[in-house]
């Protein structure tokens, strides 16, 4: 062999070996730091029973006697203190961080753990303290449906997205949804659900808006508290997230939110505050971003002074996954638990303790809170979960709540459709309905009912010509119709291409069908923000499809209904005149198609109301000047980029930092103050019946104002209405919104002529504003106007009160 070739081959060989070595070394290094560093601490669950005074308990530490912490008759406090006293400092520090990413990536030993659960609170085997499982998320459990060597499927219910639940404005119903979510978690062995999300929808382009409730903090707080109460009634915890001001995905791990104290208190913190006060959740999840220069997970002001000091939060604060940069600083600030946990954090905590930077007092404070959660969990009680949640009952509540949260935006003598009609389904999403958003808010459900299936179930005929066009389009683009799963779905929302119909095709369909239902779909999620072109705005294909469908059907005197299967706001004003009816179906979970069909068929009378404004132009939002507009996705490495320091002069506006110049003027607070026309106002939604409001009375008693009125169904169809109370102080000497939602109530299902008395209570303290000069809430004296209506722009009754 030629000497040159020989040297070349040897060099190549060495290179390949070195790369392999580096690769393997790198993998083992990462594994030992991120995935698998808990070998000394595997869970111990074999305990002897121990009896005392006729009761039986578990001898968790195997010392042959009943310890205080093992005795469930003792108070949580006594049990926690006993445990704390028995723990070594190593065990305490060990408890402050999770066990790594292994479980989230499904890397659990067959038969052990819960594959797909995003994290854990680690066990303490010497004392028999169990593992606590933490799993996403806001629209249902995100666990792996398949397990190694196990033929069983562990499907979870895809409940409606949070935005849809808020659109119900029905706290009792949302509490029942929470109850079902909690039961499902309990029976799958999950102890804490990582949700709900309570961030404010500051701008329509946030890719995660579907996980959040509203642009309004009161609606966020009331709906959020209902879901927490429902879930926690099962003895399962929640993690209300992402605390706080995590309003964009772009550069979220390093984005610094520059915001006034007033906007924080009145808007971004307010929803969380209401949830804490009304439901005292087990945990709160701090967010990735900085607020005014400090990571939220390292902010003592947020986590200790405000959350615990001002609001009385009693639970655990955990980080978002890999959030923040300085583990000891997080514990000191009041962020008790670091998730999913890394070996780096473990080492940093030990080192800080040894150096005296992290005191035993600070460690004990965090450990106590975590122990309280463990002691109060069903796991500690020895609950034997079945892995058989009642998926049928959960599908039923999903269908019911999704039907109630869908919003009828337009209806010109079109809906409900006549049973038996031949319906032409136009657009890919009609056949491939989107259940929910992507990323950690995704759910691995067993099925999703499409609009097609839903309409069939409701007794409609599906137009065969239109269906054939869809089928041939799908067959021509097989790759693009493959749904990404798991981690892939996080970075790649499923958006199959739209059909380009010819005029002939549509004319042909219109000649056979009785009506057309055209669906516009959008899908977004964690890891990316949306953008204007081809997302907020309809694409050119969609515009053509709509225009041509309407023309073809109107020529034959037939109606066109648009169904919006979306997770966030889109532009509607340029095209809303064209169709005869518009149903905002949101993403209704796995029963979405049945729920939409319930509305289209009239089986359910729509009663959903918008939890945010639909603007004419996205730039009408005051926040638009300060929001990243480029869209795009985070890369997998961005997930681990917390703490990356960008030199001041290289910082990019709206990426490295975002200035909330609009202050408190988010959503309708801005539109109504500046009187900007909107496409659909906050609180808006039509019904198949009409309602009449009676007189308005304001009764002041014990620092609470009661708003009393009546609602009468004056139409022909049974239905529900939402009574909304907006308050203002027009004589104010400071800059205040002209309307702020301060209370609401949803009626029962009123039959024609039925009247319901409405009483809405508003504590006077809720009329205060945050005074930045005094750093406190202040109640202005003066005349307050109470406006009662069915949207922020449809006020039916007004009354004044002197305070
Ligand atoms: C998300 C959280 C989620 C966590 C665990 C993070 O990337 O921001 O909302 O709960 O992952 O999956």
List C-alpha distances in Å: 64 to 56, 72, 478. 13, 17, 64
496 SS3 class: coil
Q: Is 118 in the pocket of ligand 1 (CB under 6 A)?
A: yes
Q: Quick one: what percent of the chain has pLDDT higher than 90?
A: 89
Question: Can you give the pLDDT at residue 95?
Answer: 98
Question: Can you give the pLDDT at residue 104?
Answer: 72
Output 638 or 783, whichever has higher pLDDT: 783
Question: Can you give the pLDDT at residue 640?
Answer: 79
Q: How far is the CA of 211 from the centre of ligand 1 (A)?
A: 11
Using one digit for the tens of pLDDT, what is the confidence trace for 380-426? 999 999 999 999 999 999 999 999 999 999 999 999 999 999 999 99
Residue nearest to atom 3 of ligand 1 (CA): 440
Band (157; pLDDT cuts 50, 70, 90): very high
Averaged pLDDT, 151-180: 98
Q: Is 70 in the pocket of ligand 1 (CB under 6 A)?
A: no
Band (639; pLDDT cuts 50, 70, 90): confident
Min mean pLDDT across 4-8, 115-119, 328-332, 667-671 is at: 4-8
List C-alpha distances in Å: 442 to 210, 292, 486, 524, 547. 11, 31, 9, 10, 33
What dihedral angle (degrees, nearest 10) is formed by the CA atoms of 171, 176, 177, 183? 150
Tell me how far apart the alpha carbons of residues 355 and 340 are, in angstroms, rounded to a whole number.
25
Q: What mean pLDDT is reported for the chain?
A: 95
Q: Which of 179, 662, 168, 581 is nearest to 413 (CA)?
A: 581
Q: Is 211 in the pocket of ligand 1 (CB under 6 A)?
A: no
In DSSP notation, 278-321 reads HH--SEEEE-SSEETTEEGGG-HIIIIIIIIIIT---SEEE-ST
Q: How far is the CA of 603 from the centre of ligand 1 (A)?
A: 37
Question: Can you give the pLDDT at residue 32?
Answer: 83
Averaged pLDDT, 353-375: 98
Using one digit for the tens of pLDDT, what is the confidence trace for 449-498? 999 999 999 999 999 999 999 999 999 999 999 987 766 766 777 889 99
Averaged pLDDT, 199-209: 98
276 SS3 class: helix
* Cα atoms in the Cβ-side hemisphere of radius 13 Å centred on 755: 7
Residue nearest to atom 7 of ligand 1 (CA): 321
Do 436 and 139 form a contact (C-beta atoms < 8 A)? yes
Question: Can you give the pLDDT at residue 641?
Answer: 84
Question: Can you give the pLDDT at residue 490?
Answer: 67
pTM of the entire predicted model: 0.96
Pocket-testing residue among 116, 136, 635, ligand 1, by greatest number of atoms within 8 A of Cβ: 136
C-alpha of 315 from chain center: 20
With a cut of 80, say whether residue 272 has pLDDT above it.
yes
Q: Is 320 in the pocket of ligand 1 (CB under 6 A)?
A: yes
Using one digit for the tens of pLDDT, what is the confidence trace for 578-615? 999 999 999 999 999 999 999 999 999 999 999 999 99
525 SS3 class: strand
What is the C-alpha end-to-end distance of the chain, expressed in Å?
99
Q: Is 120 in the pocket of ligand 1 (CB under 6 A)?
A: no
Tell me how far apart the alpha carbons of residues 800 and 696 are, in angstroms, rounded to a whole number.
10
Q: How far is the CA of 320 from the centre of ligand 1 (A)?
A: 6
Tell me how far apart the alpha carbons of residues 763 and 87 are, in angstroms, rounded to a whole number.
45
Averaged pLDDT, 179-203: 98
Tell me how far apart the alpha carbons of residues 593 and 453 are, in angstroms, rounded to a whole number.
7
Q: How far is the CA of 344 from the centre of ligand 1 (A)?
A: 20
Q: Which of 619, 625, 651 is nearest to 255 (CA)?
A: 651
Band (20; pLDDT cuts 50, 70, 90): low
Q: How far is the CA of 609 from the centre of ligand 1 (A)?
A: 28
Cα dihedral sign, 96-102-106-112? negative
Residue nearest to atom 9 of ligand 1 (CA): 440
Q: Is 193 in the pocket of ligand 1 (CB under 6 A)?
A: no
Q: Is 136 in the pocket of ligand 1 (CB under 6 A)?
A: yes
Helix then strand then coil, % of the chain, to nearest 5: 35, 20, 45
Residue nearest to atom 8 of ligand 1 (CA): 320
Q: What is the DSSP letter of 802?
A: E
Q: How far is the CA of 327 from the centre of ligand 1 (A)?
A: 18
Q: Which of 718, 722, 704 is nearest to 796 (CA)?
A: 722
**Structure-token match 């854990």, residue found:** 120
Band (18; pLDDT cuts 50, 70, 90): low
Tell me how far apart the alpha carbons of residues 693 and 680 are, in angstroms, rounded to a whole number.
22
Q: Is 440 in the pocket of ligand 1 (CB under 6 A)?
A: yes
* Cα atoms in the Cβ-side hemisphere of radius 13 Å centred on 466: 29
Helix 171-187, helix 391-405: angle, nearest 10: 150
Band (13; pLDDT cuts 50, 70, 90): low
Using one digit for the tens of pLDDT, what is the confidence trace for 759-777? 999 999 999 999 999 999 9
With a cut of 60, say whether residue 1 has pLDDT above it.
no
Q: Is 566 in the pocket of ligand 1 (CB under 6 A)?
A: no
Question: Can you give the pLDDT at residue 484?
Answer: 79
Q: Which two tokens stand for residue 758?
A: 């409405």
Using one digit for the tens of pLDDT, what is the confidence trace for 88-114? 999 999 999 999 987 677 677 777 889
Residues recognised as catalytic: 320
Residue nearest to atom 5 of ligand 1 (CA): 118
Q: How far is the CA of 102 from the centre of ligand 1 (A)?
A: 15
Question: Can you give the pLDDT at residue 33?
Answer: 84
Output 20 or 382, whichever has higher pLDDT: 382
629 SS3 class: coil
Q: How far is the CA of 491 from the centre of ligand 1 (A)?
A: 13
Nearest atom (ligand 1) to Cα of 136? 10
Question: Can you give the pLDDT at residue 21?
Answer: 64
Q: Is 249 in the pocket of ligand 1 (CB under 6 A)?
A: no
Band (29; pLDDT cuts 50, 70, 90): confident
Q: Is 241 in the pocket of ligand 1 (CB under 6 A)?
A: yes
Q: Which two tokens stand for residue 753?
A: 């002529």
Nearest atom (ligand 1) to Cα of 639? 7
Min mean pLDDT across 12-26, 343-357, 618-632, 658-672 is at: 12-26
Q: How far is the CA of 227 from the centre of ligand 1 (A)?
A: 18
Q: Is 194 in the pocket of ligand 1 (CB under 6 A)?
A: yes
Q: Quick one: what percent of the chain has pLDDT higher than 70?
A: 96
Averaged pLDDT, 46-55: 94
Phi, psi of 140, deg, nearest 5: 130, 170
Band (7; pLDDT cuts 50, 70, 90): low
Averaged pLDDT, 718-742: 96
Question: Can you give the pLDDT at residue 171?
Answer: 98
Q: Is 750 in the pocket of ligand 1 (CB under 6 A)?
A: no
Nearest atom (ligand 1) to Cα of 288? 8
List C-alpha distances in Å: 177 to 93, 159, 235. 37, 8, 15
Nearest atom (ligand 1) to Cα of 142? 12
Nearest atom (ligand 1) to Cα of 104? 12
Q: How far is the CA of 486 from the centre of ligand 1 (A)?
A: 13
Using one digit for the tens of pLDDT, what is the confidence trace for 524-568? 999 899 999 999 999 999 999 999 999 999 999 999 999 999 999
Question: Can you give the pLDDT at residue 692?
Answer: 98
Q: Is 728 in the pocket of ligand 1 (CB under 6 A)?
A: no
Using one digit for the tens of pLDDT, what is the confidence trace for 487-511? 676 677 788 999 999 999 999 999 9
């Amino acid at each position: 062999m030629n000497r040159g070739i020989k040297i070349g081959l040897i060099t190549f060989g060495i290179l390949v070996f070195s790369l392999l070595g580096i690769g393997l070394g790198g993998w083992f290094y990462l594994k030992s730091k991120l995935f698998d560093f808990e070998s000394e601490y595997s869970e111990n669950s074999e305990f002897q029973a121990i009896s005392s005074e006729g009761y039986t308990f578990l001898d968790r530490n195997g010392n042959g006697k009943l310890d205080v912490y093992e005795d469930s008759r003792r108070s949580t406090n006594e049990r926690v203190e006993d445990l704390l006293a028995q723990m070594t400092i190593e065990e305490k520090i060990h408890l402050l961080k999770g066990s790594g990413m292994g479980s989230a990536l499904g890397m659990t030993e067959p038969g052990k753990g819960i594959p797909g659960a995003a994290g854990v609170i680690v066990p303490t085997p010497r004392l028999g303290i169990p593992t606590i499982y933490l799993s996403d998320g806001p629209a249902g459990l995100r666990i792996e449906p398949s397990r190694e060597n196990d033929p069983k499927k562990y499907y979870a219910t895809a409940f409606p997205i949070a935005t849809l639940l808020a659109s119900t404005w029905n706290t009792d119903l949302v509490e029942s949804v929470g109850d079902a979510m909690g039961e499902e978690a309990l029976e799958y062995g999950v102890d804490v659900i990582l949700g709900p999300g309570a961030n404010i929808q500051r701008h329509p382009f946030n890719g995660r808006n579907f996980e959040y409730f509203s642009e309004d903090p009161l609606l966020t707080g009331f709906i959020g508290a209902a879901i927490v109460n429902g879930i926690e009634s099962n003895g399962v915890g929640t993690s209300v997230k992402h605390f706080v001001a995590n309003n964009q995905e772009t550069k979220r791990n390093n984005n610094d939110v520059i915001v006034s104290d007033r906007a924080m208190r009145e808007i971004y913190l307010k929803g969380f505050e209401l949830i804490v006060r009304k439901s005292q959740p087990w945990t709160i999840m701090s967010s990735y971003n900085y607020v005014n220069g400090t990571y939220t997970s390292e902010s003592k002001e947020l986590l200790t002074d405000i959350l615990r000091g001002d609001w009385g939060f009693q639970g655990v604060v955990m980080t978002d996954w890999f959030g923040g940069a300085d583990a000891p600083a997080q514990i000191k600030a009041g962020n008790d638990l670091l998730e999913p946990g890394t070996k780096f954090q473990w080492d940093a905590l030990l080192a800080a303790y040894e150096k005296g930077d992290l005191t035993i007092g600070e460690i004990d404070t965090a450990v106590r809170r975590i122990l309280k959660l463990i002691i109060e969990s069903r796991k500690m009680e020895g609950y034997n979960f079945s892995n058989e949640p009642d998926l049928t009952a959960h599908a039923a509540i999903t269908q019911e709540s999704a039907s109630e949260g869908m919003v009828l935006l337009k209806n010109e003598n079109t809906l409900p459709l006549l049973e038996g009609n031949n319906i032409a389904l136009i657009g890919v999403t009609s056949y491939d309905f989107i259940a929910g958003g992507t990323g950690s808010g995704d759910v691995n459900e067993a099925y999703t009912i499409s609009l097609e299936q839903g309409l069939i179930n409701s007794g409609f005929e599906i137009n065969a010509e239109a269906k054939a066009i869809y089928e041939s389009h799908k067959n021509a683009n097989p790759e693009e119709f493959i749904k990404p799963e798991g981690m892939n779905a996080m970075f790649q929302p499923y958006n199959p291409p739209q059909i380009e119909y010819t005029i002939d095709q549509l004319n042909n369909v219109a000649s056979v069908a009785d009506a057309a239902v055209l669906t516009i779909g959008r899908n977004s999620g964690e890891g990316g923000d949306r953008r204007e072109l081809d997302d907020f705005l309809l694409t050119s294909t969609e515009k053509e499809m709509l225009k041509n469908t309407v023309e073809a059907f109107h020529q034959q005197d037939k109606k066109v209904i648009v169904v919006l299967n979306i997770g966030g706001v889109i532009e509607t004003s340029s095209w809303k005149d064209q169709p005869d009816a518009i149903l905002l179906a949101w993403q209704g979970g796995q029963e979405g198609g049945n729920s939409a069909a319930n509305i289209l068929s009239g089986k359910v009378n729509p009663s959903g109301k918008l939890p945010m404004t639909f603007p004419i132009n996205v730039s009408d939002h005051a926040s638009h000047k300060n929001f990243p507009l480029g869209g795009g996705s985070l890369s997998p490495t961005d997930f681990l980029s917390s703490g990356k320091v960008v030199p001041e002069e290289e910082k990019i506006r709206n990426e490295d930092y975002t200035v909330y110049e609009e202050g408190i003027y988010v959503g309708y607070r801005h539109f109504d103050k500046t009187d900007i026309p909107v496409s659909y106002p906050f609180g808006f939604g039509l019904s198949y019946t009409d309602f009449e409001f009676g007189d308005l009375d304001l009764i002041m008693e014990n620092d609470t104002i009661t708003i009393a009125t009546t609602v009468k169904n004056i139409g022909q169809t049974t239905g529900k209405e939402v009574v909304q109370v907006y308050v203002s102080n027009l004589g104010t000497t400071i800059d205040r919104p002209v309307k702020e939602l301060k209370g609401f109530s949803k009626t029962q299902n009123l039959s024609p002529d039925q009247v319901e008395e409405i009483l809405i209570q508003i504590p006077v303290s809720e009329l205060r504003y945050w005074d930045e000069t005094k750093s406190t809430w202040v109640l202005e004296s003066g005349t307050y106007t109470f406006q009662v209506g069915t949207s922020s722009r449809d006020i039916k009754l007004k009354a004044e009160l002197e305070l």
